[in-house]
Structure 1
Amino acid sequence: MGRRDIADIDSGSRFAEQFSTIDRYDLLLGSIPAAFVLAALIGRLLGVPFEGTVLGGVAIATLAMLDGLFFRPPSGLQGA
């Protein structure tokens, strides 16, 4: 059971509603900066030069971008 706030609305349901609106393309957009963060962490741990880590981040982000734009593009209005 979720806790109820002053307006007697179940706060757990609002939390679930927020995350139910996240779709595949939101995750793809979030994966682009995550690729750079992950590459920077791995580069820091392994002692890879900065240019190498950026290049790794670019490679991962490019794959995500190509997937969202060309391999599996949006097929129309969603959620309208």
Structure 2
Amino acid sequence: MTAMRAKMKINHIDRRNAGSETLYFNPVCRSAGYPADGSDENNTYAKFSPSGMLSLTVANPALLGKFNEGEEYYLDFIKVE
């Protein structure tokens, strides 16, 4: 199976629960300021993954506080055989 890569942006982090935090992601999207030739990477990702959402609760103490709103990440989907 061909792997899929999405480019996601953290839009919100819920840190209300002690010992964990929930990260809320959406695909990157187009916004004003992209080059007319469409060469910006986010423009390309938005074309093929125009909408969606992902929430992920992190409970690993080594990762708490390491993520910030506005950061972008690649998310790879590779089928487990």
Q: What's the TM-score, normalizing by structure 1?
A: 0.24
Query: Which structure: greater helix fraction?
Result: 1
More RCO (CA 8 Å, sep 6+) = 2
Query: Which structure: greater strand fraction?
Result: 2
